[in-house]
Amino acid sequence: MATCRKLTKQLMKELLDSIDTILLDCDGVLWHSNIAVPGAAETINKLRSMMYTCHFSFLQGKQPIFVTNNSTKSRLQYQEKFTKMGFIVSKDEIFGTAYCAALYLKHKLNFTGKVYLMGMSGLEEEMKLHGIDYIGTGPDNVEGQILDHRADNVVLDPDVNGVVVGFDQYFSFMKLLKAASYLKRPNSVFIGTNIDQQFPMRNSELIMPGTGSLVRPVEVASNRTATTLGKPSKFMFECIQEKFDVNPERTIMIGDRLNTDILLGKNCGLKTLAVLTGVTSEEEILGYQGSEKEKERELVPDLYIESIGHLGKLLD
Ligand SMILES: [Mg+2]
Protein backbone atom coordinates (compact mmCIF):
# COMPACT_ATOMS: atom_id res chain seq x y z
CA MET A 1 0.00 0.00 0.00
CA ALA A 2 1.26 3.47 -0.86
CA THR A 3 1.26 5.53 2.31
CA CYS A 4 0.59 9.20 2.66
CA ARG A 5 0.86 11.02 5.97
CA LYS A 6 -0.76 14.25 7.05
CA LEU A 7 1.93 16.84 7.76
CA THR A 8 2.22 17.53 11.48
CA LYS A 9 4.52 19.76 13.51
CA GLN A 10 6.78 16.79 14.28
CA LEU A 11 6.96 15.70 10.63
CA MET A 12 7.59 19.31 9.65
CA LYS A 13 10.79 19.36 11.72
CA GLU A 14 12.03 16.22 9.98
CA LEU A 15 11.03 17.61 6.61
CA LEU A 16 12.87 20.91 7.08
CA ASP A 17 15.94 18.96 8.07
CA SER A 18 15.79 16.93 4.86
CA ILE A 19 15.18 19.54 2.15
CA ASP A 20 16.97 22.55 0.65
CA THR A 21 14.68 23.28 -2.28
CA ILE A 22 10.92 23.64 -2.55
CA LEU A 23 9.20 23.42 -5.92
CA LEU A 24 5.76 24.97 -5.87
CA ASP A 25 2.87 24.77 -8.24
CA CYS A 26 0.99 28.09 -8.34
CA ASP A 27 -2.71 27.88 -9.24
CA GLY A 28 -4.55 25.98 -6.52
CA VAL A 29 -1.54 26.19 -4.18
CA LEU A 30 -0.55 29.86 -3.90
CA TRP A 31 -3.57 31.46 -5.53
CA HIS A 32 -6.86 30.90 -7.31
CA SER A 33 -6.68 33.04 -10.43
CA ASN A 34 -6.08 36.50 -8.93
CA ILE A 35 -6.91 35.72 -5.31
CA ALA A 36 -4.08 34.59 -3.02
CA VAL A 37 -4.53 31.54 -0.80
CA PRO A 38 -4.51 32.91 2.78
CA GLY A 39 -1.00 32.91 4.26
CA ALA A 40 0.71 31.85 1.02
CA ALA A 41 3.12 34.77 0.62
CA GLU A 42 3.97 34.82 4.34
CA THR A 43 4.74 31.10 4.31
CA ILE A 44 6.99 31.19 1.27
CA ASN A 45 8.80 34.34 2.40
CA LYS A 46 9.37 32.78 5.80
CA LEU A 47 10.70 29.51 4.35
CA ARG A 48 13.11 31.51 2.21
CA SER A 49 14.50 33.60 5.00
CA MET A 50 14.30 31.30 8.01
CA MET A 51 17.47 30.54 9.91
CA TYR A 52 17.21 27.89 12.56
CA THR A 53 19.11 25.24 14.39
CA CYS A 54 18.39 21.60 13.99
CA HIS A 55 20.35 18.70 15.47
CA PHE A 56 22.95 21.19 16.69
CA SER A 57 23.60 22.46 13.17
CA PHE A 58 22.63 25.83 11.77
CA LEU A 59 20.46 25.67 8.69
CA GLN A 60 19.79 28.29 6.06
CA GLY A 61 16.47 29.18 4.44
CA LYS A 62 14.91 27.12 1.69
CA GLN A 63 15.10 27.95 -1.99
CA PRO A 64 11.60 28.26 -3.47
CA ILE A 65 11.16 27.61 -7.19
CA PHE A 66 7.82 28.16 -8.88
CA VAL A 67 6.69 25.66 -11.50
CA THR A 68 3.48 26.27 -13.43
CA ASN A 69 1.94 24.61 -16.47
CA ASN A 70 0.08 27.82 -17.29
CA SER A 71 1.50 29.21 -20.55
CA THR A 72 -0.34 32.52 -20.62
CA LYS A 73 2.32 34.55 -18.80
CA SER A 74 6.03 35.18 -19.28
CA ARG A 75 8.44 35.14 -16.34
CA LEU A 76 8.25 38.92 -16.10
CA GLN A 77 4.45 38.90 -16.10
CA TYR A 78 4.51 36.26 -13.34
CA GLN A 79 7.01 38.25 -11.33
CA GLU A 80 4.60 41.19 -11.37
CA LYS A 81 1.76 38.96 -10.21
CA PHE A 82 3.88 37.48 -7.38
CA THR A 83 5.06 40.89 -6.24
CA LYS A 84 1.52 42.30 -6.17
CA MET A 85 0.51 39.41 -3.89
CA GLY A 86 3.39 40.06 -1.50
CA PHE A 87 5.81 37.30 -2.52
CA ILE A 88 9.53 38.00 -2.55
CA VAL A 89 10.61 36.44 -5.83
CA SER A 90 13.18 36.71 -8.57
CA LYS A 91 12.31 36.15 -12.23
CA ASP A 92 14.90 33.36 -12.39
CA GLU A 93 12.91 31.31 -9.87
CA ILE A 94 9.84 31.16 -12.10
CA PHE A 95 9.40 28.31 -14.58
CA GLY A 96 6.22 28.51 -16.67
CA THR A 97 5.57 26.55 -19.83
CA ALA A 98 5.85 29.67 -22.04
CA TYR A 99 9.47 30.05 -20.92
CA CYS A 100 10.16 26.31 -21.11
CA ALA A 101 8.73 26.12 -24.66
CA ALA A 102 11.19 28.81 -25.77
CA LEU A 103 14.05 26.96 -24.03
CA TYR A 104 13.03 23.69 -25.67
CA LEU A 105 13.02 25.20 -29.16
CA LYS A 106 16.22 27.13 -28.67
CA HIS A 107 18.42 24.73 -26.71
CA LYS A 108 16.97 21.25 -27.16
CA LEU A 109 16.06 21.49 -30.85
CA ASN A 110 18.42 24.30 -31.94
CA PHE A 111 15.36 25.50 -33.81
CA THR A 112 15.78 27.91 -36.69
CA GLY A 113 12.92 29.09 -38.83
CA LYS A 114 9.48 30.26 -37.87
CA VAL A 115 6.84 28.95 -35.50
CA TYR A 116 3.08 29.01 -35.94
CA LEU A 117 2.14 30.05 -32.42
CA MET A 118 -1.18 29.40 -30.72
CA GLY A 119 -0.90 31.31 -27.51
CA MET A 120 -1.25 34.54 -25.58
CA SER A 121 1.09 37.43 -24.81
CA GLY A 122 3.26 35.44 -22.37
CA LEU A 123 4.27 32.95 -25.05
CA GLU A 124 4.88 35.76 -27.52
CA GLU A 125 7.09 37.57 -25.02
CA GLU A 126 9.24 34.50 -24.32
CA MET A 127 9.59 33.76 -28.07
CA LYS A 128 10.76 37.34 -28.66
CA LEU A 129 13.19 37.20 -25.73
CA HIS A 130 14.73 34.02 -27.13
CA GLY A 131 14.92 35.34 -30.70
CA ILE A 132 12.38 32.88 -32.10
CA ASP A 133 10.39 34.14 -35.09
CA TYR A 134 6.65 33.43 -34.96
CA ILE A 135 3.27 34.21 -36.50
CA GLY A 136 -0.31 33.33 -35.70
CA THR A 137 -1.35 35.03 -32.45
CA GLY A 138 -4.62 36.91 -32.05
CA PRO A 139 -8.05 36.20 -33.56
CA ASP A 140 -8.22 34.37 -36.92
CA ASN A 141 -11.67 33.28 -38.07
CA VAL A 142 -13.22 31.79 -41.18
CA GLU A 143 -15.22 34.15 -43.36
CA GLY A 144 -17.97 32.71 -45.53
CA GLN A 145 -18.38 29.00 -46.22
CA ILE A 146 -14.92 27.50 -46.14
CA LEU A 147 -15.86 24.12 -47.64
CA ASP A 148 -17.49 25.73 -50.69
CA HIS A 149 -14.14 27.17 -51.69
CA ARG A 150 -11.97 24.31 -50.44
CA ALA A 151 -10.08 26.93 -48.40
CA ASP A 152 -8.49 28.23 -51.61
CA ASN A 153 -8.12 31.68 -50.08
CA VAL A 154 -6.16 30.45 -47.04
CA VAL A 155 -2.57 31.59 -47.36
CA LEU A 156 0.21 29.69 -45.57
CA ASP A 157 3.59 31.17 -44.70
CA PRO A 158 6.33 29.30 -46.59
CA ASP A 159 8.85 29.80 -43.76
CA VAL A 160 6.91 28.08 -40.97
CA ASN A 161 8.51 24.82 -39.83
CA GLY A 162 7.03 24.37 -36.38
CA VAL A 163 3.80 24.62 -34.40
CA VAL A 164 3.56 25.49 -30.72
CA VAL A 165 0.19 25.11 -29.00
CA GLY A 166 -0.29 26.85 -25.69
CA PHE A 167 -3.45 28.25 -24.13
CA ASP A 168 -5.12 30.42 -26.78
CA GLN A 169 -8.46 32.06 -26.07
CA TYR A 170 -8.77 32.74 -29.83
CA PHE A 171 -8.53 29.05 -30.76
CA SER A 172 -10.61 28.65 -33.96
CA PHE A 173 -11.32 26.39 -36.94
CA MET A 174 -9.02 28.54 -39.09
CA LYS A 175 -6.17 28.14 -36.60
CA LEU A 176 -6.75 24.41 -36.44
CA LEU A 177 -6.66 24.24 -40.24
CA LYS A 178 -3.42 26.22 -40.41
CA ALA A 179 -1.68 24.35 -37.59
CA ALA A 180 -2.52 20.96 -39.14
CA SER A 181 -1.37 22.20 -42.56
CA TYR A 182 1.97 23.41 -41.20
CA LEU A 183 2.40 20.07 -39.49
CA LYS A 184 1.99 18.32 -42.82
CA ARG A 185 5.35 19.77 -43.81
CA PRO A 186 8.22 17.31 -43.43
CA ASN A 187 10.46 18.01 -40.41
CA SER A 188 8.05 20.54 -38.89
CA VAL A 189 8.21 20.37 -35.10
CA PHE A 190 5.11 20.05 -32.92
CA ILE A 191 5.08 21.22 -29.32
CA GLY A 192 2.25 21.44 -26.80
CA THR A 193 3.05 23.51 -23.72
CA ASN A 194 1.03 21.19 -21.46
CA ILE A 195 -1.89 18.80 -21.44
CA ASP A 196 -4.01 20.01 -18.52
CA GLN A 197 -7.62 19.36 -19.43
CA GLN A 198 -9.16 22.22 -17.47
CA PHE A 199 -8.26 25.25 -15.39
CA PRO A 200 -9.37 24.96 -11.77
CA MET A 201 -12.66 26.88 -11.35
CA ARG A 202 -13.84 27.07 -7.78
CA ASN A 203 -17.50 27.60 -7.02
CA SER A 204 -18.52 27.87 -10.65
CA GLU A 205 -20.86 25.99 -12.94
CA LEU A 206 -18.47 26.70 -15.80
CA ILE A 207 -15.66 24.56 -17.14
CA MET A 208 -12.64 26.46 -18.44
CA PRO A 209 -10.95 24.20 -21.01
CA GLY A 210 -7.17 23.98 -20.53
CA THR A 211 -4.37 23.70 -23.08
CA GLY A 212 -4.76 19.93 -23.32
CA SER A 213 -8.20 20.57 -24.79
CA LEU A 214 -6.55 22.60 -27.56
CA VAL A 215 -3.54 20.35 -28.21
CA ARG A 216 -5.71 17.28 -28.79
CA PRO A 217 -7.72 18.66 -31.78
CA VAL A 218 -4.45 19.67 -33.48
CA GLU A 219 -3.13 16.15 -32.90
CA VAL A 220 -6.27 14.64 -34.40
CA ALA A 221 -6.35 17.00 -37.41
CA SER A 222 -2.65 16.56 -38.19
CA ASN A 223 -2.47 12.88 -37.27
CA ARG A 224 0.63 13.64 -35.25
CA THR A 225 1.52 13.57 -31.56
CA ALA A 226 2.80 16.69 -29.84
CA THR A 227 5.87 16.74 -27.62
CA THR A 228 4.44 18.15 -24.41
CA LEU A 229 6.59 19.99 -21.91
CA GLY A 230 4.65 20.81 -18.75
CA LYS A 231 4.40 18.72 -15.60
CA PRO A 232 4.57 15.72 -15.31
CA SER A 233 7.18 15.83 -18.12
CA LYS A 234 10.70 15.89 -16.67
CA PHE A 235 11.70 18.69 -19.03
CA MET A 236 10.64 21.42 -16.58
CA PHE A 237 12.86 19.90 -13.91
CA GLU A 238 15.73 19.73 -16.41
CA CYS A 239 15.25 23.47 -17.05
CA ILE A 240 15.46 24.07 -13.28
CA GLN A 241 18.61 21.97 -12.95
CA GLU A 242 20.27 23.98 -15.72
CA LYS A 243 19.89 27.07 -13.58
CA PHE A 244 20.00 25.89 -9.97
CA ASP A 245 22.13 23.38 -8.16
CA VAL A 246 19.23 21.17 -7.09
CA ASN A 247 19.67 17.83 -5.37
CA PRO A 248 16.49 15.81 -6.12
CA GLU A 249 16.79 13.91 -2.83
CA ARG A 250 16.70 17.19 -0.90
CA THR A 251 13.84 18.70 -2.88
CA ILE A 252 10.09 18.62 -2.33
CA MET A 253 7.35 19.26 -4.89
CA ILE A 254 4.22 20.90 -3.51
CA GLY A 255 1.11 20.84 -5.66
CA ASP A 256 -2.64 20.40 -5.76
CA ARG A 257 -2.92 18.08 -8.77
CA LEU A 258 -1.83 14.47 -8.47
CA ASN A 259 -1.39 13.60 -12.16
CA THR A 260 0.81 16.64 -12.90
CA ASP A 261 2.46 18.04 -9.74
CA ILE A 262 2.81 14.91 -7.66
CA LEU A 263 3.65 12.75 -10.68
CA LEU A 264 6.40 15.21 -11.69
CA GLY A 265 7.85 14.83 -8.21
CA LYS A 266 7.73 11.04 -8.47
CA ASN A 267 9.18 11.08 -12.00
CA CYS A 268 12.14 13.13 -10.80
CA GLY A 269 12.79 11.38 -7.47
CA LEU A 270 11.56 14.26 -5.29
CA LYS A 271 9.62 14.23 -2.05
CA THR A 272 5.98 15.16 -2.60
CA LEU A 273 3.36 17.12 -0.67
CA ALA A 274 -0.24 17.71 -1.77
CA VAL A 275 -2.36 20.63 -0.61
CA LEU A 276 -6.15 20.45 -0.55
CA THR A 277 -6.85 23.98 -1.81
CA GLY A 278 -7.03 22.96 -5.48
CA VAL A 279 -8.41 20.08 -7.48
CA THR A 280 -7.66 17.17 -5.13
CA SER A 281 -9.59 16.14 -2.03
CA GLU A 282 -8.41 14.28 1.06
CA GLU A 283 -10.80 11.42 0.18
CA GLU A 284 -9.20 11.06 -3.22
CA ILE A 285 -5.68 10.83 -1.78
CA LEU A 286 -6.68 8.37 0.92
CA GLY A 287 -8.70 6.38 -1.62
CA TYR A 288 -5.74 6.08 -3.95
CA GLN A 289 -3.56 4.71 -1.14
CA GLY A 290 -5.27 1.35 -1.14
CA SER A 291 -6.24 1.34 -4.81
CA GLU A 292 -5.85 -1.86 -6.79
CA LYS A 293 -4.69 0.17 -9.78
CA GLU A 294 -0.95 0.75 -9.81
CA LYS A 295 -1.49 3.94 -11.82
CA GLU A 296 -3.49 5.38 -8.93
CA ARG A 297 -1.07 4.22 -6.20
CA GLU A 298 1.72 5.95 -8.13
CA LEU A 299 -0.04 9.28 -7.64
CA VAL A 300 -0.14 9.12 -3.83
CA PRO A 301 2.00 11.91 -2.33
CA ASP A 302 4.32 11.32 0.63
CA LEU A 303 2.52 13.99 2.64
CA TYR A 304 -0.54 16.21 2.52
CA ILE A 305 -1.84 19.26 4.35
CA GLU A 306 -4.95 21.46 4.13
CA SER A 307 -3.20 24.49 2.65
CA ILE A 308 0.09 26.31 2.24
CA GLY A 309 -1.11 28.65 5.01
CA HIS A 310 -1.44 25.66 7.38
CA LEU A 311 2.12 24.70 6.47
CA GLY A 312 3.21 28.20 7.44
CA LYS A 313 1.60 27.81 10.86
CA LEU A 314 3.67 24.67 11.49
CA LEU A 315 6.80 26.81 11.13
CA ASP A 316 5.95 28.90 14.21
MG1 LIG B 1 -2.35 23.64 -9.58
The per-residue pLDDT for range 10-32, each reduced to its tens digit, is 999 999 999 999 999 999 999 99
| 94 falls within a domain | no
- Residues serving a catalytic function are 25, 27
Res. 51: pLDDT tops 80 = no
Q: Would you say residue 187 lies in a domain?
A: yes
Binding positions for substrate: 231
Question: Ligand 1 centroid vs 224 CA: distance in angstroms?
Answer: 28
Query: What is the span of the domain harbouring residue 290?
Result: 5-69+231-315
For residues 54 and 151, state if they share a domain: no
Say whether both 62 and 15 belong to one domain. yes
Q: What is the pLDDT of residues 73-86, one digit of tens each?
A: 999 999 999 999 99
End-of-domain residue from the set 175, 202, 228 = 228
Predicted pLDDT of residue 255: 98
- What ranges make up the beta strands (E) of the chain? 5-6, 21-24, 31-32, 35-36, 52-54, 57-59, 63-68, 94-96, 114-118, 133-135, 160-165, 189-192, 198-199, 208-209, 227-228, 251-255, 271-275, 303-305
Domain for residue 96, yes or no? no
pLDDT at position 32: 92
Query: Does 221 score more than 80 pLDDT?
Result: yes
Task: Tell me, yes or no, whether 175 lies in a domain.
Answer: yes
- C-alpha 296 – ligand 1 centre gap (Å): 18
- pLDDT in the model for residue 147: 84
Note whether 121 and 224 are same-domain residues: yes
Q: What is the pLDDT of residues 273-294, one digit of tens each?
A: 999 999 999 999 999 998 999 9
Ligand 1 center to 8 CA (angstroms): 22
294 & 255 share domain: yes
CA of 34 to the centre of ligand 1 (A): 13
64, 166: one domain: no
Query: What number is the average pLDDT over the span 124-153?
Result: 91
Q: Which residue has the higher pLDDT, 164 or 148?
A: 164
Of the residues 228, 247, 271, which one is the last residue of a structural domain?
A: 228
| Domain match, 210 and 124 both | yes
* Residue stretches of the annotated binding site: 25, 27, 231, 256
Q: Tell whether the model's pLDDT for residue 219 goes beyond 80.
A: yes
Q: What is the percentage of the chain residues whose pLDDT exceeds 90? A: 87
Q: Which residues are annotated as a binding site for Mg(2+)?
A: 25, 27, 256
Q: Specify whether 217 is located in the same domain as 270.
A: no
Domain boundary among 179, 200, 228: 228
Q: How much is the mean pLDDT over the chain?
A: 94
- The torsion defined by the Cα of 296, 288, 256 and 51, in degrees rounded to 10, comes to -110
What CATH number does residue 206 fall under?
3.40.50.1000
Q: How many domains does the chain have?
A: 2
Q: Of all residues in the chain, what percent carry a pLDDT higher than 70?
A: 97
Q: Are residues 126 and 208 in the same domain?
A: yes
